[in-house]
Structure 1
Amino acid sequence: MKRRIYTLFVVVLSGLISLALINCSRNIEAEPKLNYGSNLFYLKNTPIDFVIKPVKKPAIEGKFTAKPWGLVINENTGEININQSETGLKYTVTFTSTDQQTVLKTEFVISGMDYKDSIYVFTNNNHLAKPVFDEDENKTAPCNDSNNDGNEDQNQCEIDDPDLDDDGNQDEPSANSQGLAISKATGQIDLKQSLENGALGNNLTNGIFKDFKIYYRLNDASDRALNSITVRVFYFDTMNDIPANLLAELKAKQSNSTSIFFSNKTIENSGVKSVEGAMTVKKRPPYLVIVAR
């Protein structure tokens, strides 16, 4: 009799455990998800902007936000315009329900070229700014330079080529023509050579900086769609000359923080600006800070 009761108890207990596991599995499957279907998106070389939508999202009301700044996203639907967004960055998209009870996140990269916010001290033989492709520091430019002349081969990549309509004619001044010594084959910037080229003018003073827009086309899944990035090059004589607010902004940019704000006080002079403050923290443009000694 005791054995029968024990056997019945085991059977009932096993059934309850199985039912609990099934319900748990169903609950896990029923949990809302947020997903765009890929972790890497490329620009489309078409006249129509490439827009993506969440392939999975919760069926409840809420808002979509993104970090860092630069992603063109519809806060109500989660739709993202890839072609109008800053490229070469990893984004975190967050969905927060209206009642604040559901918070979902997903990450992906928009393919492109980026430069890390960094300080380059020339006396440490540190003067080369190397690009990062697709947020992967192990990737190199998807270009060929078979004769090692520093230029990309025909029909491969076009780095620093402001031929916006791809008709063979430059529509804007290139970064190289403004003194920025950037390799057309790799995207690497020689900051020391840039100063010698007069990229920041002939009168170098502490805090002087200038923005350079680099247009490029890559031989990858973007099918050589027109892309661009703006870099900001600063100059200081020594590390001690870098103002504390700029150092704080650099640190915030490196950590994707958006919570540090400074008053924006700049003096413009023939397109070259002098820093007296810092702007609201944004990931772009990347800061390339030169320290001469």
Structure 2
Amino acid sequence: MRIAVTGTQGQVVSALLERGPAAGVEIVAVGRPQLDLTDLASMRTVLAGIRPDAIVSAAAYTAVDKAESEEALAFAVNAAGPTAIAEVARELGIPIIHLSTDYVFPGDKQGVYVETDATGPVSVYGRSKLAGEIGVAAANPNHAILRTAWVYSPFGNNFVKTMLRLAETRDTLNVVADQHGAPTSALDIADAVIAIAKRLRDDPDPKLRGVFHLTGGGEATWADFAETIFAALRAKSGKSVSVGRITTTDYPTPAKRPANSRLSNEKLKQAYGIVLPDWKESTNVVLDRLL
């Protein structure tokens, strides 16, 4: 099986390139300058030339705070781009897997979010990603839209690597403790995406299409996440870092974050039988590599 993935530098793209061969899948990552998400003609030419069995729409504008002042660019990359890719996938007669985010929700629900809950993003980034979901679904019925959250990995820039870097020069770090979600390893996301792509290629069942949530098992706050990281650091190196638990209002940012990013993964489990490992287990897998 051959899967085309948009983007070349992202965490999920890097994880797919690593995980693909063991799963018997050829991953072809394409990005600028060959593939321009704002140029439909270039997408048609490049993607048709790859002759993929499925396309994964992973490239995204992810600078959440910067998006507040770059709304047009965020919508071009996160909404118009994936919509065009979905159109190309439809023309090629293949499925598209589109990666989305918890930011499509307002974050004010008391319990976990399910796929049918009303959306209501509170940031430009969230609105651009929701527009991408709507565009993809309209352009190609043969789609699986995967909402994930709090992504980390051995690759690129992410919370785990930031905490380890800051720990090199600090003994105490203040971390937000009133935002709740599920840290999700890009390695686990890649494994799930490959399994989903295979099913979409081989099985026309409508239950395999639509919007699904895909996050690590369990739940945490950012402070919980940091404490787990520093516990591993202490065990490996003896370096001790304490976490000061602060509120969101203590750490203001240009873009508002959802207070509740907890997503139910039950629909994905029922449709595909996929359940990601507990976030602590996957975090330790990544930390073993980074440390």
TM-score with structure 1 setting the length: 0.27
TM-score with structure 2 setting the length: 0.27
Larger Rg: 1
Q: Larger strand proportion, structure 1 or 2?
A: 1
Query: RCO greater where, 1 or 2, for CA within 8 Å and sep 6 or more?
Result: 2
